[in-house]
Every structure is written in C-alpha cells, then in structure tokens.
Chains A and B, each alone.
Chain A
Amino acid sequence: MVKSTYQPPPGALLPLSPGWTEHKAPTGHTYYYNAETKESTYQRPGPAPSPINPSMSSYLQHQTVPQVNLSDPAVANAFMAQYVQQQPHTHGQRGGFGPRGRGGFQPRPRPQPRDKPRTKVAIPGCDPWILVYTKYERRFAYNPDKKTSYWRIPEKLMPAILELDQARIRQKAEGKTGEASPEKETSATPAAAPQQPEPEAAQHDYDSSEYEEVEVTDDEDDVGGGLDQDGNPSKRQRTEDPANDGPAEFTEADIAAQLAAMGADYGDMEMGEGEGEGESWEEGDEGLPLSDEDARELFKDLLNDFNINPYSPWEKLVEEGKVFDDARYTVLHTTKARREVWEEWSRAKIQELKERRAKQEKKDPRIPYMALLQEKATPKLYWPEFRRKYKRDEPMKDPKLSDKDREKWYRDHINRLKLPQATLKADLKKLLESVPLSALNNQTVASHLPPQVAGDIRYISLDPKVRDPFIAAYVQGLGPQPEAGEVAEEDEAVKKAREERCKRERALQERERAVAEEKRRQEKKLQYERARLRDEERELERAMQVSKRGLHSQLVEGRAEPGS
C-alpha cells in the first residue's frame, strides 16, 4: 500500500491550532487545511508557542544536563527556570552518555556550503559568553553554560563586542597578529561562571529568545542569505550537545554542534534523518525551502536512483509507492509539482534512451536464433514441439523474425543434420568462399564472424568441434584486409561529402574556363574595333589633305582609287 514518509511522533500529537483540520492526501501524506484562510500545508500547525513535545522530552531524558553547581540557590533557580519548562524531571541525571547522546545527528552532505567554527574569543566583561567566528566570517555569540547561541548578538553583549572589534582593528593597524585572542579563548573556560549569581543574565536570556522569534533578518549573517535562528526553545534543546566534562568545557565539536543545530533550522531537511531523532522531526521541519531549481533536481535524482521506467505512467509510480520513503520526495510540496517534474524528467530520459539506441549497432536477429537451433534442435522434435518447448527463449520471441522463417530454418536445419559430414564441410567452405575478403580475412576473430556466416544455416549444421578448427584454418589461409575494402566500407556520409566536393570543384573549373573564354572573346572584339577605328581615322586624315588643285583632285583621286 501507499506509504508515507510522514511519521507521527509517538504518543500524543500537538493539538492543532483552531481552524485547522487534518486530511489525508491521495498519496497517503497527511496534510492540514484551514477552512477559513483556505491554506493547506504539510507542516502540522501547532499553537504559536510550541508546547512540549513528548518525544522530545523523552529524548532529552537521555541527554546530560550540564553540570552546574546547584548548591548555590541563585544558580539553581536560574537553572531550573531554564530547564523546567522543557524537562521537568531530568535535571537529576548527569554524565553518562557523552558525545554518543547525539548519535542520530550525523548530517548528510548538504547542497549548501557548510560553515564551521574557526576561532572563538571570550567576551570580556560577560563571562560565560563567547564570540565564535566561523569559516565564512560570520560570528555568533555562544553561552556554554546555557548552551544557547545567537546569530544576533544580544544587546547586553553589544558594548563588549564593540570594544573587542575596536581592539582588533587597532591590533591590525599596529601590525600585530592577533595572538592575544587565541590565548584568551583557551582561558575562556569559565569554570567559575556558574558561581556567579546572574538572575539578570537568565532574565535576559528569555528576553532574547523572545525577540529572536521576532527577528528574522540578521545584520551579521549577510553570507548565509536568509539564515536565521528561529529561537524555538524546544528545538534548541533538542540539538544540544551533552557536555561530558562539565559546563566549562567548550570544544570545537561543541561549536560545530551548535552550528549544525542552527543549520538544521534553515532549509536542510535531510539533516534530521538520523535514527535516534527521526521521530521527533516532523515533515516539513526544514523551515526555509530549498531553491526551486535544487528541489527539482533533487526530485529528478530520486527518480534516477529508483530506476523508474520513464515509459511508465505516473499512476504506477504512485501505486508502487517506493519513492515515498525517500526524503527527497517531499522536497516538492505538491503532487502537481512532482508530476510536472516527473514529466519533464521522463521526456528527457526517453530522448536520451532514443539517442543511445540509435548509436548502438544493429544486430542480426538471425544469429541468436541460429545459435539456439545449433544448441537445441534435434531430429527427435517436430517443429510444433520444438516451438512449444522453447517458446520462452528470447530468440523465439524476437519480433523481428517471422514464425514462418523460424519454421523453415528449423526444418532445413533438421534435414541438413542427416547429410554426411563431407557434404556439410563442402557447403561450409562454399559459404566461406562466398564472403568477400573485406568481411572475412585473417584478422577475423572466431567469436566475431560476419553475420553472413554466423546467420547462415550452413554454418550451424556442422558440429562446433569440427567446424571451429575448420574455420580457423580457413581464416589463417586468407589474405589481409584489402585497402579497397576499407574504402568500400567508408561511411556513406563521408563518401557523399567527398562526391559533393568533387562536383563543386569541377563546376568551379568549368566556370573559370567559361569566364576565360568570354574574356578572350571580348579582347578580340576590342582589338578588332580598335583596328577599324584606326582605319577610319586614316581615311578621314586622307580626306582632309586638300591640295592646290582643290576639290577636283580629291574627286579624281576618289574616282581613281576604287578603280585601282
């Protein structure tokens, strides 16, 4: 049946906010609908300040509580005030589990870059507080006592941090490397911290967590985009690291855990998939969603990983329900969106398959059938019997061969089995001789005979034990692959292209010749015209030469000339 990734936390669920109703989607997921605002969501809408999650508190039972000197009444009060609302009966337990307590919190590789704590600086004047710088130059304030951390620096610490910054800038200006701060951070283990009665700090803690809820943007984390801490106390508690050496210990792992906890709040739904914590993570707990593109790619990866047949209908995918168990299924929030992505994916996949198939060389369907005949056919079976017996075999189902052909070849083969060996050998020799040297030559491997041979009835009628040495001997005696054969085998396209080119060149030559001819003719004409012009000029000149005898002489001359 349809399975869901949504696992309701054991025990009582949080009560739904008024106006919300619970429904089951056709895919089996539970979703919530608000009839008034017409909103629907996968995320369980709890009442605004989230109450104690029973599964959470049970998890917290296994967590160690930081060791605090409870003998001091003020500290004890502050401590109780902090813990009593989440875990009223756990502060008696201590020690025990150590780092194993957070076993379920192995984060999977995330798409976004992972931040890491780099350095830490104790904030002077506000003793338990530590300022942690991360790999990406962000920083957050951390209180190892309360195990709380804030991207947004609490106002109480502001002046101290400002001072720190100024000191650092001054240091830089003076060219000193900041050696003082690492020293400070080692000395920043505030062993005496719990002794300080700090009702103010505790008071402030609640205030800050309150305003953390309101604050969404953060002036500090410009790198992390929309990252922010949601300040949900129960969530914060859940991701706490149990301190094994008391509250004073503030290790790198500790800070890393804090960061991871913060990271879990924004947009990384895969984080909460650990075995220990699985049930306390609700679906859609990811806060900010992944970018749309990422979500689509993730969903496509899911389809690829499950080897979904791209030709199958969507309904089959839903009915099988294999993919529901994967966290990536819920990356997209609506079934409609999923279906869209699926369609896009299947279209691309089918295209890819088509292209791959086009590249593959085609095989002669006769070859496997002939191999089957060689192996299975006996004169004891009639064709219908043979067909019935081996109808499950691949070559018998091949749609490219017709049943008629199969029958004919079977009968031929059976008849030929009765012939004497010498005839069969002679036939095979004839067959081999009929194959051109380009297909069968001394480089041919016995396992890759040309299809003209391997798909022929004469090839299989001889027993392989006799046939293979015979063919090997024949192939040995053949010459090498002829050059001409290579040319003949050249790609049709290449040949065509070459022909085209030849044709073009020939046409060009033709044209050049024609042009030259034309040019010559023009030249000739020009010269002829010039000669004529000269003649006329000469005639004109002669006409202009008028002697003393006047026009008469001209006329006489003119009369005499035609005669002469």
Chain B
Amino acid sequence: MPAIRPASKRKAPPDGFSDIEEDLLIFGNKMKDAQNTPTDNIPKHQAQWPIFQISHQRSRYVYELYYEKEAISRPLYEWLLKNGYADALLIAKWKKQGYEKLCCLRCIQTKETNFNSTCVCRVPRAQLKEDQDVQCVGCGCRGCASTD
C-alpha cells in the first residue's frame, strides 16, 4: 500500500477522475482516520485490521468501476493503480477463479503459516462447523471464499 502522492506532486489524472474524486477522497479520509486512531486499548493483532479493510474496499471500488461497470477508462485505471488508489496485486488475484472475493494477499500466503496452509477465512462456510464464527488474525476477515 504505497502512499498516495499529493495532487500537486503528481501527473495530472486522465479524464473522468473528477467523477470519482469525491468517493476516493472519502476513502482517503477514512484511511487517515484509521491510521490516526490510537491502538493502545485493542489487541495488538487487531491494530491493522481497519487499514486492511479500507484498503480492500478502495481496491474493490476501483476494480468494480473498471472491470464490472466499465465506468472508467483504461488510462484512468492505470493512473489510479500507479498512484496507489488500488492494490494491483490484489486485483490480479480477484481475476483468478476461486479468488474472486479474496480479502488480502497475506491470507493466501501459505509460507507464513505454521502448517503451510491458507488463512481460516479462505475456508468455505459449508466446510466449517455449524455456527462457527471465524475472524482471521491477519485482517479481521470473516470469510472470503468464493462460494460464500
């Protein structure tokens, strides 16, 4: 998640940016709030959750605008990726079958876990025990299997 460069220091955005500027600004403000919230009184592993969630939402927003609604042009989409409005690597995963709803890249990184497996949020709801409420440690995801 590279920082978004300030408007004065970057190349001018392509046409159509003004349509989505406001919503991106809302996401940006949310992200700033999340970053500035003190994390003294919450468990350490939960401190990053809101950051991951907002980043996911914003990436999803850009992804849907380009791939599903076809609302923005290719140059604008690329400009958004380049300027850090969306996570290109995460979007690359969403295009793959089985990863359509992936919450974050860390949850499919098998090498980082003790048993070389993906995160619990990748397990389909049908395979979990009845009424088992999961929330993954990495990003607070409650389940992002494609079948859910």
A346 B12 Cβ-Cβ under 8 A: no
Known A309-B23, A402-B12; contact A315-B69, beta-carbon cutoff 8 A: no
Chain A residues within 8 Å of B18, by CB: 399
Other-chain residue from B13, B20, B70 in contact with A311 (beta carbon distance below 8 A): B20
Kindly state whether residue B109 has any CB partner on chain A within 8 Å. no
| A316-B23 contact in complex given A347-B69, A350-B69, A399-B12, C-beta closer than 8 Å | yes
Nearest neighbor of B7 in chain A, beta-carbon distance:
A397
In the complex, B19 has a CB within 8 A of chain A: yes
Interchain CA distance A309-B61 in the complex, whole Å:
14
Of the listed residues A313, A346, A350, the one surrounded by the most CB atoms of chain B closer than 10 A to its CB is: A313
**A311 & B23 in contact (Cβ 8 Å cutoff):** yes
**Does A291 interact with chain B (Cβ within 8 Å)?**
no
Interface: B22 (CB within 8 A):
yes
A404–chain B nearest beta-carbon distance, Å = 12
Q: Is the CB of B19 within 8 A of A313?
A: no
**How far, in angstroms, from A311 to B80 measured CA to CA in the complex?**
15
Q: In the bound complex, do residue A343 and residue B26 qualify as a contact, i.e. CB atoms below 8 Å apart?
A: no
**A315 to chain B: which residues have CB within 8 Å?**
57
Any chain B CB within 8 A of the CB of A527? no
In this complex, the interface size class of chain B, counting residues with CB under 8 Å from chain A, is 10 to 19
- CB-based contact A309/B22 at 8 Å: yes
- Within 8 Å of chain A (Cβ to Cβ): is B71? yes
Sorting the interface of chain A by its residue count into under 10, 10 to 19, 20 to 34 or 35 or more gives: 10 to 19
Complex CA gap A346/B19 in Å reads 13
Instruction: Give the Cβ gap from B67 to chain A, nearest Cβ, in Å.
Output: 12
> Is B88 located at the chain interface by the 8 A CB criterion?
no
Q: Which of B13, B17, B26, B68 contacts A316 (CB 8 A)?
A: B26
Shortest B54–chain A CB gap in Å is: 11
A177 close to chain B: CB less than 8 A: no
| Closest chain A CB from B62 CB (angstroms) | 10
Segment 62-79 of B: residues with Cβ below 8 Å from A? 64-65, 68-71
Whether the pair A311, B65 counts as a contact (CB closer than 8 A) is: yes
Distance in Å: Cβ of A375 to nearest Cβ of chain B: 24
* A346, B64: Cα distance in complex, Å: 11
Query: What's the minimum C-beta distance from A35 to chain B, rounded to whole angstroms?
Result: 11
The answer, yes or no, to whether A312 is at the interface (CB within 8 Å) is yes
Residues of chain A with a CB closer than 8 A to B61's CB: 313
With a CB–CB cut-off of 8 A, which chain B residues contact A353? 19
- B22 neighbours in A (Cβ, 8 Å): 309, 312
Known: A343-B69, A350-B69. A313 touches B23 (CB 8 A): yes
Contacts of A309 in B (CB 8 A): 22-23
Nearest residue, chain B, Cβ from A391? B8
Which A residues are CB-close (under 8 A) to B12?
Answer: 399-400, 402
Q: Which of B13, B23, B70 sits near A312, CB closer than 8 Å?
A: B23
A343 to B69, CA, bound (A): 8
Q: Could you mark each residue 332-367 of chain A with 1 if its beta carbon is under 8 Å from any beta carbon of chain B, else 0?
A: 000000000001001100100100000000000000
**A313: which B residues are within 8 A, CB to CB?**
23, 57, 60-61, 64
Shortest Cβ distance from A315 into B: residue: B57
Residue among A309, A311, A353 facing the most chain B CB atoms (10 A cut-off): A311
Which residues of B have CB within 8 Å of A316?
A: 23, 26
- Smallest CB–CB gap between A108 and chain B, Å? 33
With A399-B13, A399-B17 in contact, do A311 and B71 touch (Cβ < 8 Å)? yes
**Considering the chains assembled together, what is the distance between the CA atoms of A346 and B71 in angstroms?**
9
A347 to B69, CA, bound (A): 5
- A399's nearest neighbour on chain B, judged by CB, is B12
Question: In B52-109, which residues have CB < 8 Å from any A CB?
Answer: 57, 60-61, 64-65, 68-71
- How far, in Å, is B102 (CB) from chain A's closest CB? 18
A312 and B64 CA atoms in complex are apart in Å by: 11
Whole-angstrom CA separation of A40 from B71 in the bound complex? 36
What is the CB-to-nearest-CB distance from B7 to chain A, in angstroms, rounded to a whole number? 9
State the CA gap A350–B68 with chains docked (Å): 12
B135 → chain A closest CB, angstroms: 16
Interface string of A306-325 (1 = CB under 8 A from B): 00011111011000000000
> How many whole Å from A95's CB to the nearest CB in chain B?
58
Distance, CA A343 to CA B64, complexed state (A): 10
* A315 CA / B19 CA spacing, docked (Å): 17
Q: Contact between B57 and A346 (Cβ–Cβ < 8 Å)?
A: no
Interface centre among A309, A310, A346, A399 (most CB of B within 10 A): A399
Q: CB-CB < 8 A to B13: which residues of A? A: 399
Which B residues lie within 8 Å of A400 (CB)?
12
* Cα-based distance from A400 to B19 in the complex (angstroms): 15
Q: Which residues from 93 to 129 on chain B have a C-beta closer than 8 Å to any C-beta of chain A?
A: none
Task: List 9 extra interface pairs beyond A310-B71, A347-B70, A400-B12, CB under 8 A.
Answer: A311-B65, A312-B22, A313-B61, A313-B64, A316-B26, A343-B68, A343-B69, A350-B69, A399-B13
List 21 interface pairs A-B (beta carbons < 8 Å), by A numbering: A309-B22, A310-B71, A311-B19, A311-B23, A311-B71, A312-B23, A313-B57, A313-B61, A315-B57, A316-B23, A316-B26, A343-B69, A346-B71, A347-B70, A347-B71, A350-B69, A350-B70, A353-B19, A399-B17, A399-B18, A400-B12
Q: Which 9 A-B pairs have the closest CB atoms?
A: A399-B12, A350-B71, A313-B61, A311-B19, A347-B69, A311-B20, A312-B23, A350-B69, A399-B13
